[in-house]
Amino acid sequence: MEFECSKNQLGRGAFGIVFKGSMGPNHIPVAVKRLQLVDIEVSEKEEEALRNLEHRNVVKLYNVKSDSDFRCS
Ligand SMILES: Nc1ncnc2c1ncn2[C@@H]1O[C@H](COP(=O)(O)OP(=O)(O)OP(=O)(O)O)[C@@H](O)[C@H]1O
């Protein structure tokens, strides 16, 4: 599902900045994390782990987009 993100910054982690965004036609609020790509293999492993993880204390991963020009506006 497509998502958008705003300039509204929610926080910052070791691998990137997290922005407030929305997803889909109903604009469901989501957090958008823009990763600074360090190691593609590590990123892919984290993505796979998050996709398979379901826990009430862990955010759900909905989408991953690979685009070096992607910016939150
Ligand atoms: N779903 C969310 N809702 C609100 N704020 C969030 C959300 N996800 C992340 N944040 C904010 O962004 C900050 C960084 O989140 P991030 O997931 O990058 O943390 P991290 O796991 O420590 O980072 P990293 O995986 O890069 O080491 C959080 O401390 C929080 O303030």
Domain chopping of the chain, boundaries: 3-51
pLDDT digits (tens, 9 = 90+) for 13-59: 887 899 999 999 999 999 998 887 777 788 888 889 889 999 999 98
Amino acid 1: pLDDT: 79
Which residue ranges make up the annotated binding site for ATP?
A: 33
CB atoms within 10 A of CB 5: 21
pLDDT on residue 38 = 72
The verdict on the CB of residue 35 being under 6 Å from ligand 1 is no
At 53, list the tokens: 């993880």
Query: Which residue's CA is minimally distant from atom 31 of ligand 1?
Result: 11
**CATH number of this structure's domain 3-51:** 3.30.200.20
Residue 16 CA, closest ligand 1 atom number: 26
ipTM: 0.89
| Residue 64 reports pLDDT greater than 80 | yes
Mean pLDDT for the stretch of residues 7-17: 90
Q: Which residue has the higher pLDDT, 53 or 67?
A: 53
- Angstrom distance (rounded) from CA 2 to CA 15: 22
Residue located nearest, by CA, to atom 1 of ligand 1? 31
